[in-house]
Amino acid sequence: MVLNNEQLMKQYDYTSEQLNELDLQEALRSDNAIIVSVARIIRELDGSMDSSKQKEVYKKVFTHLNNNLFL
């Protein structure tokens, strides 16, 4: 749902058609850092409302984005 945002699609160069072809495992292997980040959030949180788990996932995703987008 988040990835269907038109501004994200335009800025990070992907289409809704590309998203429709991906399952979670394929999204995790994507070349697109945004797609990988959202997939990691989904996989690692797995619906958890635990704030310590959320903080851990935030740090991992933040590091991933810094390493892949903000070089």
* pLDDT in 10s for each residue of the chain, 71 residues: 889 999 999 999 999 999 999 999 999 999 999 999 999 999 999 999 999 999 999 999 999 999 998 76
Can you tell me which residue has the tokens 């984005």?
A: 65
pLDDT score at 2: 85
* Domain of residue 45, residue span: 2-68
Residues 6+ apart with CB under 8 A from 64: 33, 36, 37, 40
Print burial letters for 36-67: b (CB count within 10 Å at least 16), e (below 16). Answer: bbbbbbeeeeeeeeeeeeeeebeeebeeeeee
pTM of the model: 0.84
Number of domains in the chain: 1
Among 45, 55, 50, residue whose Cα is nearest residue 24: 45
